[in-house]
Structure 1
Amino acid sequence: MAVDYEWFKGEVYKLTKIDLNAYKEKQMKRRIDTLIGKTECKGYDQYMDLIKKDQTARETFITYLTINVSEFFRNIDQWNLMDKNMVPELIKKFGKNLKIWSAACSTGDEPYTIVMLLSNHVPLNQINIMAWDIDTVALAKARAGVYDAKEVSGVPADLKKKFLTQEGDKWRVSDDVKKRVNFKQADLLREPYPKDYHLIVCRNVLIYFTEEAKDEIFRKYYDSLAPGGVLFIGSTEQIINYKEIGFIRKSSFYYEKPM
């Protein structure tokens, strides 16, 4: 049957509950067309049949869709600012039992980075990070905590020595760090958001979303923060209407909910 991308988006939502209407259409359609071109499928209908029947193909599709590009301490200057300024300020306001949410954690690099950084300020047993991602394959890697050399190349030497173990050409995150993160499969566009968080980290994810979807998510993050809490976004992102939402801009990538 002759079908178009609109039909395909509807079928994807029925199958996965992922709403492709929330993503920038030209960019996402191009990615999906490229992926289909790597298979033997002729068009959207055949590809939909494939991902309905084949779990591995379906997981490959979702992983490709969610664009998992991550590494430990990515954009180190931003993490240094967190270490020197943001974390001490948050501890001063809220104490050492900070509520932290890594809202699109991908393969775990980000929440593990947060644990390692926080260990400079707080005993490990007082650190608890909630980490969400839509991609079950990425979450499986996150829970395993095993990475290649490039992914961990940004970890400062002292933290690498303390929290990572080399196993051949791979590096394993220590169990002490892994225990501090609670991973959950969840869709930012559908799941009810938690409340009263002191720090929300969502970096280099929303650039793939439409302006309407981004606005909705940023407003939900604002509601999820405790007064005085901070949202940390990526170097490729900005909140154009942050004042309208209610945020105070602390720096290029940090936005605070007023006390």
Structure 2
Amino acid sequence: MAPSAERRRAHAAVLALLEKRHGVGSKGAGPSAWMELRLDRALDALALDAGGSLEGALGLLETEPSRLEEIAERLRVGETRFFRDPPQWEALRKVAVPAFATRERVRALSVGCSSGEEAFSLAMLLDAGLGRAGAYRVVGMDRSEAAVAAARAGCYSLHQVSHVPSELRSRYLSEADGQLRVVESLKGTVSFVARDAMIGPPPGHYEIVLCKNLLIYFGNEAAERAVSLMLRSLADGGFLMVAKSEVPRVKALGHKAEELAPGVVVFRG
């Protein structure tokens, strides 16, 4: 059933606040069905503390910033896995890593790293491909303190590591208490920081920046800011890789794409 006019107005008001303060939005097309569901759940919970009305719930969002932060977290679905989208990882392994092999140190960044699978995937790829101590450094950033804490632990279930190739799994993961932990030698090459994409990457210049399945939660203005900041952080010859589904959107923002490998697109500064 379609939301009532009152609900639609409430959704629009919340999204306007989220876009302004957190960069979360619906890209100007109105909320999707899954976003409406999460907004409704959040508004209903707020209304219980505001006399049962949507108007009261919106008032709480204006006066209590932490309540808006909670909704932003609900709308950010931190789904991630090791080596998500294999063609992109094959292009990184076969094209990008060899191209950077002569550099003294390769720096890579995972933006919106969630619980760390993408950042550790990068580290495995770089460690296996470069094969020398101190040859690379990986940084993972996510605005969620809880996600960063989970990433730093480097501990995953058997299901979570099911996409790790067997040769990398045996080399970089060790089993303990029914779970798999990232080995300390690899863990020491990756650092995690709680940081919002609206602020931009940590200081430095990066050969590889991955930002996959994060821009889908941003309105156009926030997406443009995030992309511009990431492109600005690239080292000479470096590139930004987004999810395949996000490529048309980044192109629409005016950024020029180039093929890293057949069917795999990246953006350069």
Range of TM-score over shorter length: 0.7 to 0.9
2:141 is aligned to: 132
Q: How many residues align?
A: 252
Q: Is 1:100 matched up with 2:105?
A: no
| Counterpart Cα distance in 2 of 1:91 and 1:60 | 43
Cα distance in structure 2, aligned partners of 1:89 and 1:166: 33
Q: How far apart are residue 247 of structure 1 and its match?
A: 4.6
**1:84 alignment partner in structure 2:** 94
The CA RMSD measured in Å over matched residues stands at 3.5
SS in 2 for 1:171: strand
Residue 4 of structure 2: aligned partner: none
Deviations along 1:23-47, one digit per CA (max 9) or x if unpaired, are: 6641344422235557883447459
Contact 1:124 1:180 in 2 (8 A): no
Give the letter for the 1:4 counterpart.
Answer: A
1:187 to 182, 192, 196: 196
State whether residues 222 and 257 of structure 1, in contact with CA within 8 Å, keep that contact through their aligned partners in structure 2. yes
Structure 2 stretches of 5 or more lacking a match? 1-6
Q: 1:150 to 1:64 in 2, by over 3 A?
A: farther
Question: Could you tell me how far 1:63 is from its partner in structure 2?
Answer: 3.9
Q: Structure 1: which 5+ runs fail to align?
A: none
Q: What SS class does the counterpart of residue 129 from structure 2 fall into?
A: coil
Counterpart AA for 2:22: I
Q: Which amino acid aligns with 2:196?
A: D
Alignment of 1:177-216 (within 5 A): 177-191=186-200, 194-216=203-225
Cα deviations by residue, 1:104-124 (Å, 9 ceiling, x for unpaired): 111100000100111112235
> Tell me, what secondary structure is at the counterpart of 2:93?
helix
Partner of 1:26: 31
What is the rounded CA distance, in whole Å, between the counterparts of 1:113 and 1:129 in structure 2? Answer: 10
**Cα 1:183/1:65, change in 2 over 3 Å:** same
Deviates more, 1:36-45 or 1:122-131: 36-45
Residue 71 (structure 1) aligned with residue 75 (structure 2): no
Distance between the aligned counterparts of 1:256 and 1:7, measured in 2? 34
The two structures have a TM-score, normalised by structure 1, of 0.79
* Residue 165 of structure 1 pairs with residue 174 of structure 2: yes
